[in-house]
């Protein structure tokens, strides 16, 4: 009996492993288990995402309901009660809003804009990258020249510019209601080029392979080849850039909001809260600035670390 047969018998006898078991034993998850920093980053991300998703249920106060605000609560320091008897863990701001609650709702806006903008950038960048890599020729050079030009400018500048243009086109009465969407489009458009460049390179490699030729000979429609055959094979690096891109998008959103060109004050994100808090830095109310800033840094850092880990885990050369 040869060694090969022995192993195959054992494999046949061994009970089928459950899905969870396979995930637990997989390479990617193994590297996850081995890295305490990554586990911590994942926990922090989960905690912050969970807290922002369930903000309406967790938040001790409803900070954007004017009826529940009491100016007597204003400037309550952290971990103390105001004159009206309300307790504030992270203190309250000048309008008597609970800082903890505004952070919960604020990270909701930040995450929503960051995730949507990244998804938008991925969809746009991946489709254009696939088209450029598969078609080649003029399509390729036009798309890639645009990407090259765009990549030589910082994303924040491009996002600012798109935001400015959108403001000029949209009538002023709708600025506030459209602001979040404009922001998503601006940040998304500023970040698509990275994805396009990566996907284009991977597509050019894949389209030389036999399975693509086989599909083409079978008469499969090019669109179907791209979506069903090539796309799954180029998604690995997209996942990595996407995670790091999410951290970047969150910071970009915060920067734009901090500069005062982001979300409207009625719907503050973490960046807006920091902008508000900056005004009270000199008068000693540090907590209005401090807690949103810490949240933003934790969020960006955790997502960044996850991205780093994903890059190492999915890249076989580094193992």
Binding site for another protein (CB under 8 A): 149, 152-154, 156-157, 160-161, 163-165, 167-169, 247, 251, 254-255, 258-261, 274, 278, 281-282, 286, 289, 293, 296-297, 300-301, 304
Give the CA count within 13 Å in the CB-facing half-sphere of 206.
27
C-alpha–C-alpha distance, residues 306 and 290, integer Å? 24
Alpha-carbon distance of 194 to 190, in angstroms, equals: 10
Pick 230 or 276: Cβ nearer another protein: 276
Of the pair 56, 260, the CB lying nearest another protein is at: 260
**Nearer CB in complex with another protein: 82/102:** 102
CB 121 within 8 A of CB 245: yes
Separation of alpha carbons 291 and 38, rounded Å: 23
Residue 93 C-beta: closest distance to another protein, Å: 16
CB of 251 to another protein, least distance (A): 5
- Which lies closer to another protein via its Cβ, residue 18 or residue 152? 152
Looking at the Cβ atoms of 231 and 299, the one nearer to another protein is 299
The secondary structure element, H or E, covering residue 305 is helix 287-314
Q: Cβ 159 to another protein, closest distance in Å?
A: 10
CB 55 to another protein: min, Å = 22
**CB 90 to another protein: min, Å:** 17
Residue 275 Cβ, how far from another protein at the closest point, in Å?
Answer: 9
Integer Cα distance of 228 and 289 in angstroms: 48
* C-beta closer to another protein: residue 218 or 318: 318
Based on CB atoms, which residue is closest to another protein, 225 or 251? 251
Give the integer Cα–Cα distance in Å for 52 and 75: 24
Q: Cα 116 vs. chain centroid, distance in angstroms?
A: 8
d(CA 153, CA 49): 31
Smaller CB separation from another protein, 212 or 256:
256
We find the least distance from the C-beta atom of residue 119 to another protein, in angstroms, to be 22
| Spatial contact of 120 and 98, defined as CB atoms under 8 Å apart | no
Of the candidates 288, 318, 290, which has an alpha carbon nearest to the alpha carbon of residue 74?
Answer: 288
| Least spacing, CB of residue 161 vs another protein, in Å | 6
Cβ proximity to another protein, 206 vs 253, nearer residue = 253
For 48, counting Cβ atoms within 10 Å of its Cβ (0-12 exposed, 13-18 middle, 19+ buried), the class is buried
* Shortest CB 296 distance to another protein, Å: 7
- 3-class SS of residue 100: helix
What contacts 316, CB < 8 A, 6 or more positions away? Answer: none
Q: Which two tokens stand for residue 154?
A: 């910082």
Contact present, 244 and 302 (Cβ < 8 Å): no
Do 48 and 302 meet the contact criterion of CB atoms below 8 Å apart?
Answer: yes
């Amino acid at each position: 009996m040869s060694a090969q047969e022995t192993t195959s018998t054992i494999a046949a006898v061994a009970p089928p492993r459950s899905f969870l078991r396979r995930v637990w034993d997989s390479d990617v998850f193994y590297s996850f288990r081995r890295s305490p920093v990554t586990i911590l980053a994942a926990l922090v991300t989960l905690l912050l995402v969970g807290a922002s998703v369930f903000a309406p249920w967790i938040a001790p106060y409803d900070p954007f309901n004017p009826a529940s605000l009491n100016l007597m609560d204003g400037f309550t320091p952290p971990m103390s009660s105001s004159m009206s008897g309300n307790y504030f863990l992270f203190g309250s701001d000048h309008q008597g809003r609970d800082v903890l609650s505004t952070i919960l709702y604020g990270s909701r806006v930040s995450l929503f804009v960051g995730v949507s903008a990244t998804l938008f950038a991925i969809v746009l960048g991946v489709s254009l990258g696939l088209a450029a890599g598969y078609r080649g020729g003029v399509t390729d050079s036009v798309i890639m020249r645009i990407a090259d030009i765009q990549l030589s400018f910082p994303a924040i500048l491009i996002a600012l510019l798109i935001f400015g243009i959108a403001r000029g086109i949209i009538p002023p009465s709708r600025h506030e209601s459209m602001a979040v969407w404009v922001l998503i489009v601006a940040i998304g458009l500023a970040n698509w080029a990275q994805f396009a460049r990566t996907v284009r390179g991977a597509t050019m490699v894949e389209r030389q392979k036999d399975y693509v030729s086989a599909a083409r000979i079978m008469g499969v429609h090019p669109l179907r080849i791209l979506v069903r055959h090539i796309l799954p094979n180029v998604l690995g690096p997209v996942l990595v850039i996407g995670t790091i891109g999410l951290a970047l998008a969150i910071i970009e959103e915060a920067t734009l909001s901090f500069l005062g060109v982001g979300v409207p004050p009625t719907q503050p994100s973490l960046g807006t809260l920091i902008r508000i808090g900056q005004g009270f830095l000199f008068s000693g109310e540090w907590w209005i600035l401090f807690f949103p800033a810490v949240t933003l840094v934790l969020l960006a850092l955790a997502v960044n670390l996850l991205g780093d880990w994903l890059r190492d885990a999915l890249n076989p050369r580094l193992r």
